[in-house]
Amino acid sequence: MSTAPLLMFAQSSAGGDVASRLENPIGFVEAAAQAVPGMDGSTSAPISIVLLLTVLTLAPAILILCTSFTRFVVVLGLLRQAIGTQGLPPSQVVVGLSLFLTFVAMSPTLEAMWSGGVRPYLDAPIAERDSLAAWEGVKQPLRNFMIAQIRGAENESSVEMMLNFQGYDADARAGMEWKDVDMVALIPAFVLSELKIAFLIAFRIYLPFLVIDMVVSSLLISMGMMMLPPVFISLPFKLLLFVVADGWALVAGSLMESVVRVGGG
């Protein structure tokens, strides 16, 4: 199969508005597929392959940036450092746990995205499929989730900063509503909000372990055992405290509660 039509399509689209691509990426993929000879919109394996590869390419970015995955993986990563177990649990476990916690906490939002956009698009006949309507059905629940998290954390300033760099002055921003904020500004504002929340949660988790380290260090110094690394003594106590308090369940439950409480479900 010749790649010239795809290259011509990419070159003609290179100067396009990035924001317009985010408004209807499904239609953009369909247009790219139709640029290949023989792909005239009829049911065929190449179209399915192109759509599948595109979804697989965009899925990691969407999963990381537009969901609560960022909050979960940052908090769990800093928790591992606070305990002082170095590479345990492994990064694969931390990422996997964060992924499944995201699915649980955002299950209502994901269900709304599926039932409102993906399912009607797949169930409709090929000739009657409306990519713009499908994208709107998928985008709106995700937008509502991100807006709810930003407002719940009172991080509207991040949205204002993004709009300011987009060229909106103070008077224009004062008259804007949430529906007027496009995805280009909303996504980075949401990521900044999630990072702020994650570090605040991690700070609260870090404090008990920091107290244990300070107490153990003071005791070793008072006993004249300055050559003994405090981590050798504090680590068992931190592990014991964390296990007795059922720390993993508490942290996971608190993280999901922080999402659901402000509109994650």
Q: What pLDDT, in 10s, does the model give residues 139-169?
A: 888 888 898 888 888 888 888 888 888 887 7
7 shares its domain with 83: no
18 shares its domain with 74: no
Identify which of 139, 254, 245 has the alpha carbon closest to the alpha carbon of residue 197. Answer: 254
Structure tokens at 226: 């300055």
Q: How far apart are CA 96 and CA 92, in angstroms?
A: 6
138 shares its domain with 211: yes
42 shares its domain with 137: no
115 shares its domain with 13: no
Q: What is the pTM of this model?
A: 0.73
Q: How far apart are CA 135 and CA 30, in angstroms?
A: 12
Q: How far apart are CA 15 and CA 18, in angstroms?
A: 9
| Model confidence pLDDT, tens digit, residues 169-186 | 777 777 778 887 888 888
167 shares its domain with 237: yes
Q: In the chain, how many domains are there?
A: 2
126 shares its domain with 251: yes
In this structure, the number of other CB atoms found within 10 A of the CB of residue 149 comes to 22
| Model confidence pLDDT, tens digit, residues 177-224 | 888 788 888 888 999 999 999 999 989 888 888 888 888 888 888 887
- Return contacts of 63-68, CB within 8 angstroms, 24+ apart: 63/99, 63/102, 65/187, 65/190, 65/191, 66/142, 66/146, 66/187, 66/190, 67/102, 67/106, 67/145, 68/101, 68/102, 68/105, 68/106, 68/149, 68/194, 68/255, 68/259, 68/264
What is the rounded (10 degree) CA torsion for 178, 183, 187, 190? 10
65 falls within a domain = no
Q: How far apart are CA 32 and CA 47, in angstroms?
A: 10
29 shares its domain with 79: no
> What average pLDDT does the segment 242-246 reach?
85
189 shares its domain with 232: yes
133 shares its domain with 27: no
User: Which residue segment(s) compose the domain that 237 sits in?
Assistant: 70-264
